[in-house]
Structure 1
Amino acid sequence: MAHTSSYDNSKPTAVHLEMGPEQGFEDKADLSGQAATDEHGHSLLHFDPAAERRLVRKIDLYIVPTVAMLYLFCFIDRANIGNARLAGFEKDLHLTGLDYNKVLSVFYISYIIFEIPSTVACKILGPGWFLPGTALGFGILTVAFAFVRDIQTACAVRFLLGMFEAGMLPGIAYYMSRWYRRSELAFRLALYVMMAPLGGAFGGLLASAILRLDSFGSVHTWKMIFAIEGIVTIGLALLSFVTLTDRPETARWLSHEEKLLAINRLKSERVGTTEVLDRMDTKKVLRGILNPVVLATSWVFLLACITVQGLSFFAPTIIRTIYPNATVVHQQLLTVPPFVLGATAILVVNFTSWKTDKRNIYMGVSALPVIVGYIMFLASTNAKVRYAAVFIIATGAFNSGALCNAQVAANVVSDTARSSAIGTNVMFGNIGGIISTWAFLPGDKPNYPIGNGLNLAAQSLILITCVGMALWMTMDNKRRQRKDVAAELSGLSHEKIVDLDWRHPGFEWRP
């Protein structure tokens, strides 16, 4: 483009251009069909920091609470089987040997199969309809799980539950990428991803409270956990049909000027983009899936989910091996403090990520305390040492959910590529989830050396992968900076330039 800009790399949210409103490039101008960056990806817009802060606070208020509550009960509905196990689930269904692991793993089969299709469906249908619909589905199925009588029906309901839950985590991440800048996204994702450890904590508290009841309608003991928590999820899903809106243009709670500001902020970070929400395009779907940073980050998420899902499903069991003489309610309560610490760590790490606009380094550093914790678990059989290890593990294990999704969202350009990239990342994560269901086997107890050793190896690989990814992105960015962008784009139509996505010569990887 013919315009000149001064690009301040140290302040990605306050890029300035000495250009007046008469030239049509003010922050609240209608730039439909126009790019908001130059050919190198530098913003052509100046944004009023105060106006941006007001807008972001409003988006935070309207968007984050609803998606956070949906994900909280999504996670509780998925992981409450671990609490039910302590309350007699295996005994009532006559599960023996590896039957419990089979019930866990069948959930991930459907989760993996429907991951990318669900994220694409979220884009096509619109998050305002898709997210409440999937929440309603898994709420109904959670209630249905209270009435299973054998392993066959348990596996069937868990398979359907996985199908409905498949779109929730990537769908929310994709939805929030429609509202937030690259630097802002990780912390906002953290505000709902922290519901995973809080779900572990709250799930334990809720389960212990529910188990104090004599009955709930016609159901008793562990069945009450699924019936009550499923009903709460159904209520939240129905409420979210009213509260969620697809995108800034359709938000009744934004003024016209705020809508334009919300759209232009995103366009100013996306090289070659003329529309924030593009049409579905197979080429751009593949750009999101086959992006090298997306694939490397997805591998990290796979490894991280081996630990996260393992903690979620087996934390009550691990606590029982540490304190075998405690009551069931006391064992449930002992699972709460580590998960609360994990939620706090998510906020701290991702707040720092937001302020530094970095993600990869925090993904790698988060593996360090987890490595230390599993070394402690393997080296000692002392109950206090092992319980302390659970706390140390929790400070790093849960951080990857927000960081990895923010990382893949930051390293694609188009909305379509972003939906498939996030879907790919979460699909890999759930491959890690299915691995985790076979990490802690009955024949391995009470010390579970295989499960703990697997988690130690996974976290070590995360550290190695993040170091390698950082080196590769640095080298490839230097290679890209040597390119003649104008010459490489010469002769290409607008459609072909847009389809380049991360292959655009002016694009740079964001670590």
Structure 2
Amino acid sequence: MAAAQDLPQGTDAHAQSGGEKGVHDSEQGIAEVFIDPKLEARVMSKFDMFLMPQMALLVIIAYLDRSNIGNAKTFGFEAGLGLSGNQFGNLSTLFYPTYVAFEIPWVMAVKRWGANAVLAIITVGWSIITLGSGFIHTYEQGIAVRLLLGAFESGLFPCLTFVISTVYSREQQAKRVAVLYGAIALSGAFGGLIAYGIQLMGERAGLAAWRWLFIIEGAVSLVLGIALWATLPRDSTRAWFLNPDEKELMLRRSQRDAAYKGDDKFSYKYIIQAFREPIIYIAAVGMFCSSFPLFGFGTFLPTIIMGLGYNSLQANYLSTPVYIFACIVLIFVAWLSDRLKRRGIVAMLVPISVLSGYAIAIGTANSGAGLFAMFLIAAGVYPFNTIVLTWVTNNLPNEHVRSVGIPLLISIANMSGIASSQIYPSKDAPRYIMGNSVSLGTEAVALLAVCVLYVLLRRKNAQASRKSDGTPEFTYFL
């Protein structure tokens, strides 16, 4: 999205445009931009109306196409490909190497060519691959489609997070990032229902039900991907649904919210700045560890529920209320974080439910208690990553640094997918003690990481002093 730009030369310091005005303090050398709050609220409402639903829908179909392999497993995917041993776990794992490798290039492409073009290419690419997955017959073909799927889907989440960071102020971002994670949870709910329906439909046209799962979901997302080119805005200052005054307001607003003002031209110094930022690596440790339960939960929830004593049909439809509950809790936590204007405290509280859930799942074989534990886990895994990702985004200084820093953070976190897909081997059925124990331990480390990050940011703010030119130091968002 468009970065903050300097005011055009010759612009009067007290000129007003679209309900806002700029004031220049000659002594301090600080350009302050004042914006009509009513006009600003109207513009943000337009982005909420036209942008966020598209983002949510994108995430839903992406995670349906990514995680449907877990649903397909419950009704014949392994037998259909003749898989043996841990080959299914390997297919889950091989999604992540290309996923991690391509995240940064995709986000930099959005910065260069715009959100609509890049996200349309990403969506069409993974949709064709998903559809094609319904026609594979061998383990080797499965490897190929999973690697390709990871390469295309890798750009979605960091690109959307980056776009949110260019549109909304720091205090407004948690709720919008929560929409993305809420969409992940909803995709799990829809995925269970869709898989349940397709499983009941059985074989059609000589194709097994699990094949139709890939074909139908891939075809739906392909149509959406083609439409995105026209329906998504290229950037925040040229969105098709804004009038000229509103576009001008977005340009002024980016100036107001920018932590550092400077040249909009790209420089490699921003890449270096992102790679040298310690908060990214501390947060990455937390998100890497929390992603073990997040990815394991998303891929293997139907399998885990079957291990509690339910059959495959029950496992698919029982996952739906778990994800709906996760969505409700996520919305509340994100709202609370924005309301309190605090990220760290909230991030330190939400892992408690995850730790409690895995402790119950490990400690008892009771099916009712085990299902209750799934609700506890769902209540924490999605809010944690939402808050931490938003927290880091709030504390990266400008769009160029964010265009590298956001995918860098997410790519490190997503490396856990390589290992998390291996911690629920079939031999550990029915209770999967190892997988649940690993998830419990990594969530504890994630909690420790955000505690360290909170202490570091508090110390940075305490040590902040005014720069030599009189402008205030960047204040870190706690």
Q: TM-score range by the shorter chain?
A: over 0.9
For 2:64, the equivalent position in structure 1 comes to 76
Q: Within 5 Å, which residues of 2 pair with 1:226-241? A: 226-241=214-229
Is 2:302 the counterpart of 1:316? yes
Structure 1 residue 41 displacement after superposition: 12
| Kept after mapping to 2: 8 A contact 1:346/1:398 | yes
Partners of 2:342 and 2:71 lie apart in 1 by 36
Partners of 1:84 and 1:203 lie apart in 2 by 10
For 2:6, the equivalent position in structure 1 comes to none
Structure 1 residue 74 displacement after superposition: 0.3
Q: Within 5 Å, which residues of 2 pair with 1:278-289? A: 278-289=264-275
- Could you tell me which amino acid in structure 2 is paired with residue 250 of structure 1? R
SS at match of 1:45: strand
Structure 1 residue 217 displacement after superposition: 4.6
SS at match of 2:33: coil
SS at match of 1:440: coil
Is 2:144 the counterpart of 1:162? no
Given the alignment, which residue of 262, 286, 290 partners 1:300?
286
Is 2:347 the counterpart of 1:363? yes
Partners of 2:248 and 2:385 lie apart in 1 by 30
Q: Within 5 Å, which residues of 2 pair with 1:55-66? A: 55-66=43-54
- Could you tell me which amino acid in structure 2 is paired with residue 249 of structure 1? T
- Could you tell me which amino acid in structure 2 is paired with residue 343 of structure 1? C
Q: Percent same amino acid at aligned positions?
A: 26
Deviations 1:291-337 (A, max 9, x none): 1112211221111211111011110100111124x3x2222101111
Structure 1 residue 456 displacement after superposition: 0.9
Structure 1 residue 42 displacement after superposition: 8.7
For 2:429, the equivalent position in structure 1 comes to 445
- Could you tell me which amino acid in structure 2 is paired with residue 323 of structure 1? G
Is 2:164 the counterpart of 1:176? yes
Given the alignment, which residue of 421, 426, 435 partners 2:410?
426
Q: Residue 262 and residue 394 in structure 1: after superposition, are their counterparts in 2 closer, same or farther (change >3 A)?
A: same
Partners of 1:272 and 1:316 lie apart in 2 by 47
Partners of 1:72 and 1:480 lie apart in 2 by 41
Q: Residue 40 and residue 400 in structure 1: after superposition, are their counterparts in 2 closer, same or farther (change >3 A)?
A: farther
- Residues paired across the two proteins, number: 468
Partners of 1:60 and 1:374 lie apart in 2 by 36
Given the alignment, which residue of 323, 326, 336 partners 1:342?
326
Deviates more, 1:138-147 or 1:245-254: 245-254
- Could you tell me which amino acid in structure 2 is paired with residue 509 of structure 1? Y
RMSD, aligned CA: 2.4
Is 2:468 the counterpart of 1:486? yes
Structure 1 residue 409 displacement after superposition: 1.5
For 1:94, the equivalent position in structure 2 comes to 82
Deviates more, 1:35-44 or 1:163-172: 35-44
Structure 1's unaligned 5+ residue stretches are 1-20, 490-504
| Kept after mapping to 2: 8 A contact 1:204/1:336 | yes
| Kept after mapping to 2: 8 A contact 1:25/1:45 | no
For 1:49, the equivalent position in structure 2 comes to 37
| Kept after mapping to 1: 8 A contact 2:20/2:34 | no
Structure 1 residue 40 displacement after superposition: 9.8
Given the alignment, which residue of 399, 415, 426 partners 2:383?
399
Structure 1 residue 400 displacement after superposition: 3.0
| Kept after mapping to 2: 8 A contact 1:90/1:100 | yes
For 2:457, the equivalent position in structure 1 comes to 473
Structure 1 residue 107 displacement after superposition: 0.5
Given the alignment, which residue of 245, 262, 272 partners 2:260?
272
SS at match of 1:355: helix
| Kept after mapping to 2: 8 A contact 1:42/1:268 | no
| Kept after mapping to 1: 8 A contact 2:115/2:163 | yes
Q: Residue 87 and residue 188 in structure 1: after superposition, are their counterparts in 2 closer, same or farther (change >3 A)?
A: same
SS at match of 1:212: helix
Structure 1 residue 37 displacement after superposition: 9.9
TM-score, length of structure 1 as denominator length:
0.87
Instruction: Return structure 1 stretches of 4+ with deviation > 6 angstroms.
Output: 34-43
Structure 1 residue 221 displacement after superposition: 1.4
Partners of 1:41 and 1:200 lie apart in 2 by 51
Partners of 2:370 and 2:191 lie apart in 1 by 22
Q: Residue 262 and residue 309 in structure 1: after superposition, are their counterparts in 2 closer, same or farther (change >3 A)?
A: same
| Kept after mapping to 1: 8 A contact 2:81/2:139 | yes
Q: Within 5 Å, which residues of 2 pair with 1:177-256? A: 177-256=165-244
Partners of 2:181 and 2:28 lie apart in 1 by 33
For 1:18, the equivalent position in structure 2 comes to none
SS at match of 1:44: strand
Q: Residue 232 and residue 26 in structure 1: after superposition, are their counterparts in 2 closer, same or farther (change >3 A)?
A: same
Partners of 2:187 and 2:419 lie apart in 1 by 21
| Kept after mapping to 1: 8 A contact 2:356/2:376 | yes
Partners of 1:271 and 1:166 lie apart in 2 by 28
